[in-house]
Amino acid sequence: MKIPETPDEILQKANEWLTGNYDIKTKAEVRQLIDNKDSTALIDAFYRDLEFGTGGLRGIMGVGTNRMNIYTVGAATQGLSNYLKTVFAGLPQIGVAIGYDCRNNSRLFAETAAGIFSANGIKVYLFEDLRPTPELSFVIRELGLQSGIILTASHNPKEYNGYKAYWDDGSQLVEPHDVNVINEVLKVKVDDIQFNGPKENITIMGAEMDEKFLQKVVSVSLSPDVIKRQKDLKIVYTPIHGTGVKLIPMALAKMGFENVIHIPEQDVVSGDFPTVISPNPEEPAAMALAIKKAIEVDADLVMASDPDADRLGIAVKNDKGEFILVNGNQTVLIFLYYIITKRKELGLLKGNEYIVKTIVTSELAGEIARKNGVEYYDVYTGFKYIAEVIRENEGIKTYIGGGEESFGFLPADFVRDKDAVSSCALMAEIAAWAKDNGRSLFEMLQEIYITYGYSKEKMKYVVRKGKSGAEEIEQMMVNFRNSPPKQLAGSELCIIKDYETLIERNLITGEERPINQKITANVLQFFTLDGTKVSVRPSGTEPKIKFYIEVKDKLASSDQYDETDNKTNQKVDRVMVDLGL
């Protein structure tokens, strides 16, 4: 392999870290990178500045401008502090909450940020130990704070860490605050960062706040009587070494479940994630130990949360008695079907309820809402957009649930981000409700398909790395805009939605109409006459272009499930061929 040459500007940036206001250990590590004959690591650490994007920071840990370290975290925190002091200048005291997950250096970064906020005269509420992301969101609202951050890289590999910023409604930043904070962070130099503020400005939160949060979590229950009858439901749960290890079992116990089975080796809190390659409940390998245990004990339900406990993965037994993973779209369908069905049964549908889904999530979610007289909203990918709808409807309409295909659901609005704690509690209740009615969750999913139509979804991504890769992805989007497919799997294209222009075109009638979104996005959607939907968008955080495929069919009865599933799988394959994938 050819050793890359070190460009002068990269060496200059690295040398600034040798002479600037950086600690001795950091300087020693930078010197080691410079002295290494292979300059690959040096280039990767300094070739760009780690961007504070609309979701915050995320990157590999280490020294350098393109790494997660106390200085990139420090710049982000100083920039956020500067913005908070501008926006909330009229308040006698600005307050922020800080949480962190199990990752290596998360506690260090959290304490670093706490010291910086404190030095800027901002009151800090810091968790005593690792806590789930949804509890951080809850605390902001509970204490009436102006902002919050959590140190987490979600389900990324162990080399990564991240920094997510929240606003006073408990949601991740949306416009104009996201862009304004980014601009403030970009202005910060290392000498501007005020480290080590007074400890008197920092309050430590612990069990008392957990109890308040768990009281809210239990309030999502719609069938407490069912849980009393099914309290012995066999539930296998794993936190995959992360923050769900304490609160999710506590939530299940408070709901009334008495038979929660653990995976001891995955209850070990560790940023090295020793039992998995990737701590992502979307991936079968991450669920393997839990499923193995479920087979041993003949469990009714398997649940897993990711390291910061905002995503939920589940597995259930199919009609052959085999445990299968339920995908993110199916999870959303199960939640919404149950919530709407139970609310209708209990007389809790008053006519002003609504649900929210993202534009790449299954259209069946909207169909369930529509056929039950519940309003639904379509928003861009990202839970901050779901939270934005909740904020705009506060006091006017009643939020009853929302989710996205990437394993995130929010069953109640006391949190304004994905919430695996509440979702695990409610999913266990749904499994109990199904069992109480003589069914399994798998049979319940089949009933949803029989009632509302069958849907098969698949996400395919294409990776193109580097500058040339970014240009290739950009050209792919140009090609799809200029030359969209005429048909997909034999069905004629009828509608194209372009979120960059916010125009929806009907190819049959020639009619154009505006798309109801506040901001533009580089996303294309194709709809065919037979109900097939394809969404195309470049990833905002990775060198990928993503294709979300959904095809439709009818399911007349449960005994036709396998046949229908095979048929729609083949149709998805044909769509991929037509897209050139």
Spell 343-367 as b/e; 16+ CB within 10 A means b.
beeeeebeeebbbbbbbbbbbbbbb
Quick check: 518 pLDDT over 70?
A: yes
Question: Identical fold at 48-205 and 213-452?
Answer: yes
Average pLDDT, rounded, for the chain: 95
Judged by average pLDDT, the poorest of 68-82, 351-365, 458-472, 549-563 is 458-472
Q: Which of 458, 140, 136 has its CA nearest to residue 309?
A: 136
pLDDT digits (tens, 9 = 90+) for 373-414: 999 999 999 899 999 999 999 999 999 999 999 999 999 999
User: Can you give the pLDDT at residue 6?
Assistant: 62
Question: So what's the pLDDT on residue 5?
Answer: 53
Give the mean pLDDT of 456-461: 94
SS3 readout for 317-379: ECCCCCEEEECHHHHHHHHHHHHHHHHHHCCCCCCCEEEEEECCCCHHHHHHHHHCCCEEEEE
* Pairwise CA distance, residues 427 & 35, whole Å: 54
Domain ranges of the chain: 1-47, 48-205, 213-452, 456-578
Beta bridge partners, 99, equal: 150
What pLDDT score was predicted for residue 102? 97
User: In Å, what is the CA distance from 350 to each residue of 75, 224, 347, 399, 531?
Assistant: 48, 21, 8, 12, 31
- Containing 165, the helix (H) or strand (E) segment is strand 160-166
Question: Could you tell me the pTM of the whole model?
Answer: 0.94
CB distance 428 to 422 below 8 Å: no
For residue 528, the SS3 value is: strand
Tell me which amino acid residue 408 is: G
Query: Is 411 in contact with 339 (CB distance < 8 Å)?
Result: yes
CA distances from 339 to 356, 357, 371, 383, 552 (A): 13, 15, 14, 19, 24
pLDDT category at 1 given cuts 50, 70, 90 is: very low
Identify whether the C-beta of residue 504 lies closer than 8 Å to the C-beta of residue 514: yes
SS3 string, 453-495, reads CEEEEEEEEEECCHHHHHHHHHHHHHHHHHCCCCEECCEEEEE
Q: CA-CA distance, 268 to 194, in Å (whole number)? A: 35
Determine what percent of the chain is predicted with pLDDT higher than 70. Answer: 98
User: Residue holding tokens 């309003």?
Assistant: 375
Give the CATH number of domain 456-578.
3.30.310
The residue type found at 340 is I
Per-residue model confidence as pLDDT tens digits over 157-206: 999 999 999 999 999 998 899 999 999 999 999 999 999 999 999 999 99
| Pairing mode, strands 353-358 and 323-326 | unpaired
* Cα 207 from Cα 435, distance rounded (Å): 33
Catalytic residue, chosen from 147, 154, 423, 455, is: 154
Burial category of 122 from C-beta neighbours within 10 Å (exposed 0-12, middle 13-18, buried 19 and up):
buried
pLDDT band at 559 (very low <50, low <70, confident <90, very high): very high
Q: Is 154 a catalytic residue?
A: yes
Q: In b/e form, how buried is each residue of 275-289, taking b as 16+ CB within 10 angstroms?
A: bbebbbbbeeebbeb
Please tell me the distance from the alpha carbon of residue 521 to that of residue 183, in angstroms, as a whole number. Answer: 20
Q: For the segment 195-242, what is each residue's pLDDT rounded down to a tens digit?
A: 999 999 999 999 999 999 999 999 999 999 999 999 999 999 999 999
Name the nearest CA neighbour of 549 among 581, 502, 522. Answer: 581
- Per-residue pLDDT band at 468 (split at 50, 70, 90): confident
User: At the fourth CATH level, which superfamily is domain 48-205?
Assistant: Alpha-D-Glucose-1,6-Bisphosphate, subunit A, domain 3 (3.40.120.10)
Work out the end-to-end distance of the chain between its first and last CA atoms, rounded to an integer number of angstroms. 30
Q: Which residue type is seen at 147?
A: S
Task: Report which of 73, 74, 72 is spatially closest to residue 64, judged by C-alpha positions.
Answer: 72
Question: What is the C-alpha to C-alpha distance for residues 119 and 96, in angstroms, rounded to an integer?
Answer: 13
Q: Which pair of structure tokens corresponds to residue 388?
A: 């934005």
Residue 178 amino acid letter? D
- pLDDT tens-digit readout, 63-97: 999 999 999 999 999 999 999 999 999 999 999 99
- Residues of the chain with pLDDT > 90, as a percent, come to 91
**To which residue do tokens 């390659």 refer?**
277
> With bands split at pLDDT 50, 70 and 90, how would you rate the model's confidence at 3?
very low
Contacts (Cβ under 8 Å, ≥6 apart) of 93: 123
Whether the upstream peptide bond of residue 411 has omega within 30° of 0, thus cis, is: no
CA distance linking residue 440 with residue 431, whole number of Å: 7
pLDDT at 541 over 70: no
Q: How far is CA 302 from the centre of its chain?
A: 20
Q: Which residues of 6-41 are buried (b: 16+ CB within 10 A; e: fewer)?
A: beeebeebbeebeeeebeeebeebbeebbeeeebee
- Please provide the DSSP assignment of 190-254 as one string: GGG------GGGEEEE-HHHHHHHHHHHHTT-S-HHHHHHTTT--EEEE-TTSTHHHHHHHHHHH
Superfamily classification of domain 213-452: Alpha-D-Glucose-1,6-Bisphosphate, subunit A, domain 3 (3.40.120.10)
What does the pLDDT average to over 497-509? 97
- Average pLDDT of the residues in 339-346: 97
- For residue 143 the two structure tokens come to 């204490």
Which pLDDT score is estimated for 55?
A: 76
Per-residue pLDDT at 458 exceeds 90: yes
Distance CA(423)–CA(418), nearest Å, equals 9
pLDDT band at residue 539, thresholds of 50, 70 and 90?
confident
Q: Which of 287, 300, 339 is nearest to 428 (CA)?
A: 300
Q: In this predicted structure, which of 266-275, 437-446, 533-542 has the lowest mean pLDDT?
A: 533-542
Query: Can you give the pLDDT at residue 2?
Result: 42
